[in-house]
Structure 1
Amino acid sequence: MRSDRVRLFQTLPHTCGYFAERTAQNLVIDPAAPQLDQLYGPALERGFRRAGGHLYYPYCSNCRACTPCRIDVAHFAPDRSQRRCLRRNEDLQVVESMAGYNTERHALYERYLRQRHPGGGMDEADASDFRRFLTAPWSPTLFLEFRHGSRLLGVAVTDLCLQGLSAVYTFYDPDETVRGLGTYAILQQLALAKRRGLPWVYLGFWIAGHPKMDYKRRFRPLQIRTSEGWVEMPES
């Protein structure tokens, strides 16, 4: 991905989603670029992430806390807690489905946002918000659905590129927290990547010391992207 071929835009400052007292900015690959589908994989390799039809990278003037991270699929082995999570959810069926809107998914998405992210600006998401945030016409996306019988309990929005799999977003039944469906989603995405022969599962960004990001450290071996490229995160 060369700078003379791809235009990058910088967003205006906006409130940071992780530190309320900070402002944030992103670098965004030109959303009108005709080859976004071809750029996506190399952009993942460089630490970018997809949100809707945008490929972005946090680029804040006074903060570099957001660190791209990815799991080494071939060498991953679930720890004790993750094995318990798999056992708790043995009664679920995992269905690889075409990405897209339907009323069942939307109803679950709305319930999740209202209970898990109230007042966050997304908790009144209509059908167009669902499509705009979770899908893009150029993106190689599938939805991993987690079902108990006919009942939909969760959806892991998952992008598949040659460079690896990107865990874009997961939403699930907020009344089923004991199942640990967020962890279960990543475990199933790792299983999918292994079946597809993909080397990495990209988890977006990790922030040292942030309680909402700590769960990512438990998926080992985990790599983070530094100024020298991808390196394995130390155990401590």
Structure 2
Amino acid sequence: MTQHSRDTPQFYLTAPSPCPYLPGRHERKVFTHLVGDKAGDLNDLLTHGGFRRSQSIAYRPACDQCRACVSVRVVANEFRPSRNLRKILARNSDVVGEQRSAVPTSEQYSVFRAYLDQRHRHGGMADMTVLDYAMMVEDSHVETRIIEYRRRAEGGGVAGRSEDLLAVALTDVLSDGLSMVYSFFEPSEETRSLGTFMILDHIARARRQGLPYVYLGYWIEGSKKMDYKGRFLPQQRLAPSGWLRVEAPGDAASEPQD
């Protein structure tokens, strides 16, 4: 019988299930566990290969006849916001992002619950309890942070404190970038475009930290849920030949990048 080291990741394949992004299609995923002392290094390696993290699991699509899910990362230092994106930044000039340890709070869950009920009431996460949310945040064996976005208190507040939690991002810190694992926002503040604002803020954070990329997960052409990720340019998209650069909307991916 073959012997496997405890440090050697074992990969598994899920059964087919309906695709949540493209009607009429089915998805399968390949996944492995991120545990132990090597979890951070493994998460780095797998993210570079198109995997995403969910709690202590790393997964990527492995569909039989579809390759629509394309891993995307923004080139942070070269990114320049479009006119529309600059308007979103201006609209949220009163919002402050505060980075914290990955510790769940009831305040976060309140926003999370409102977000699911308003925007994803029929999705796979719709029934998540406060304990499920705590597991989503805490069950990580890699370097993970929570970034809370709050409206700045009028008059500056006390000792720089802010108020009104508006949005939250759960983010992994990789060797070459920030990976946005999951984000959500107060649905009553929809006109702020907080989902887009959080991406813009992460690009700025990566630049300040000297990290070259912001990983956004999967871009899916033709999916309204995922198509927005194509707005953040220049970016790289993972193809069988490696990470390919995209300069402008509608561009074909160009030469492989290191």
Is the TM value for this pair above 0.5?
yes
RMSD (Å) for aligned C-alpha atoms: 1.6
Matched residue SS, 1:113: helix
2:41 is the alignment partner of 1:38: yes
User: 2:201 is aligned with what amino acid?
Assistant: Q
Matched residue SS, 1:209: coil
Pick one of 92, 99, 102 that aligns with 1:96.
99
Q: Whose relative contact order is higher, 1 or 2, with alpha carbons under 8 Å and at least 6 apart?
A: 1
- How far apart in 1 are the matches of 2:129 and 2:23? 25
Pick one of 11, 16, 21 that aligns with 1:18.
21
Which residue number in structure 1 is paired with residue 224 of structure 2? 211
> Which digits, 9 at most, give the CA deviation of each residue in 1:145-189, with x for residues without a partner?
110131100001111011211011110000101101001000111
2:239 is the alignment partner of 1:226: yes
Q: How big is the shift at 1:9?
A: 1.0
User: 2:104 is aligned with what amino acid?
Assistant: Y
- Contact 1:53–1:135, Cα closer than 8 Å, also in 2: no
Which residue number in structure 1 is paired with residue 83 of structure 2? 80
Pick one of 169, 175, 185 that aligns with 1:156.
169
Q: How big is the shift at 1:135?
A: 4.0
Q: TM-score, normalised by structure 2?
A: 0.85
- Contact 2:237–2:246, Cα closer than 8 Å, also in 1: yes
121-130 vs 80-89, which moves further? 121-130
Q: How many residues align?
A: 233
- How far apart in 2 are the matches of 1:33 and 1:22? 35
- Contact 2:180–2:215, Cα closer than 8 Å, also in 1: yes
Percent identity between matched residues is 36
Q: Provide structure 2 residue ranges, at least 5 long, that are not aligned to the other structure.
A: 1-6, 154-162, 251-258
- Contact 2:35–2:141, Cα closer than 8 Å, also in 1: no
Q: Provide structure 1 residue ranges, at least 5 long, that are not aligned to the other structure.
A: none
- Contact 1:72–1:220, Cα closer than 8 Å, also in 2: yes
User: 1:139 is aligned with what amino acid?
Assistant: V
Distance 1:23 1:135, change over 3 A: farther
- How far apart in 1 are the matches of 2:37 and 2:100? 26
Matched residue SS, 1:176: helix
Q: How big is the shift at 1:31?
A: 4.5
